[in-house]
Amino acid sequence: MKALQLTEYRRLEMIEAPTPEIAADEALIRVSACGVCGSDVHGYDGSTGRRRPPLVMGHEAAGVVERIGAAVDGLAAGDRVTFDSTISCGECGYCRGGQINLCDNRQVLGVSCEDYRRHGAFAEFVAVPQRVLYKLPSELPMEHAALIEAVSVAVHAVARTPLQDEAATVVVGAGMIGLLVVQALRVAGAGQIIAVDIDADRLALAQKFGATHTILSRDRSPVDEVLSLTAGRGADASFEVVGATPTFNTAVNCVRKGGTVTLVGNVSPNVEAPLQAIVTRELTLYGSCASSGEYPRCIELMASGQIDVAPLISACVPLEEGPAWFERLYAREPGLMKVVLKP
């Protein structure tokens, strides 16, 4: 099969690779579309330490069942499917308790770290256990279905956060996941949804998706603006969707006393925390990692149009064009959001 391999850092090339063998509980999926995640771009130069070449990356994908293992039930060749990027073991205490994203033995498609190497979906075929496979409705285009993984991250983050009806919320960072968090908050019934970013175009998208207010943080203080919009009280909850010290501080200082801050972004392994503000204002911090069983709900939300990913897709291109598009994403080309590769 053809595959796009990270041969060395900053070097992607098309290769001929063996078609994956499948275990009894797995299905072989012919990949129809695979999105380029921000984590792939950060791994492209080795900065995350979790994309060690040689590796076939890619974990945001959808495709068609090619064949199934002997123990697979309820799936057949030709079924349209997507799959969780987290390959959970299904047996540890966390899996048995429904927290599959915290699986003690988890692997992630397209990731190579000190614990494991698991090739991903920038390829014609990928092998996936049935326990993380989900059937797709016929009306959902494959290019959109490839973004279900990203949608699940946003839906999980909102589900992690206790929100009262008509809650005032702030989303710090209007990138791909931040814009999906905006939509998930709208679906969840948030009253105020205040989006903060340094990019006016992304804020325009946030408004299109349901943000009630937007703040261009390079022009004015987001904390002062949020306080003004909430009658001096602060938001009930904030979502930090970047993973850097300045945006973390913004997310903390935007919420009211007793409020919550949900941390979704993790670009940086460490950030400086405003400890006294967190302690004396008795804030609650939630970490939110990947998703945990939200795929069926996300498929429903996308198929019904309640969450729209079409405006987020900048390009759908053949897999062979992947190296050039990775360079454009790595260079942070203005206006470029989600690129979907098609094997």
Average pLDDT of 53-75?
Answer: 97
The whole-angstrom separation of Cα 313 and Cα 144 is: 8
Choose among 248, 287, 246: nearest CA to 264.
Answer: 287
What architecture does CATH give domain 153-287?
3-Layer(aba) Sandwich (3.40)
Average pLDDT of 223-227?
Answer: 97
pLDDT digits (tens, 9 = 90+) for 146-174: 999 999 999 999 999 999 999 999 999 99
SS3 220: coil
202 neighbors 174 (Cβ within 8 angstroms): yes
**What are the distances in angstroms from CA 234 to CA 39, 259, 327?**
31, 8, 40
Confidence bin at 278 (pLDDT 50/70/90): very high
pLDDT for res 49: 82
pLDDT for res 266: 87
Sequence-distant (6+) residues with CB within 8 A of 228 are none
Domain map of the chain by residue range?
2-147+309-342, 153-287
Structure tokens at 41: 């771009």
pLDDT for res 105: 96
Cis peptide before 54 (omega within 30 of 0): yes
Confidence bin at 269 (pLDDT 50/70/90): confident
pLDDT digits (tens, 9 = 90+) for 3-62: 999 999 999 999 999 999 999 999 999 999 999 999 999 899 998 888 999 999 999 999
pLDDT for res 159: 97
CATH class of 2-147+309-342: alpha beta
pTM over cut 0.75: yes
The whole-angstrom separation of Cα 232 and Cα 240 is: 21
Check pLDDT > 90 for residue 134.
yes
Check pLDDT > 90 for residue 319.
yes
Helix axes 222-229, 245-253, angle to 10 degrees: 20
The proportion of the chain whose per-residue pLDDT surpasses 70, expressed as a percent, equals 100
> Parallel, antiparallel, or unpaired for β 168-172 and 192-197?
parallel
The whole-angstrom separation of Cα 55 and Cα 266 is: 22
pLDDT digits (tens, 9 = 90+) for 184-214: 999 999 999 999 999 999 999 999 999 999 9
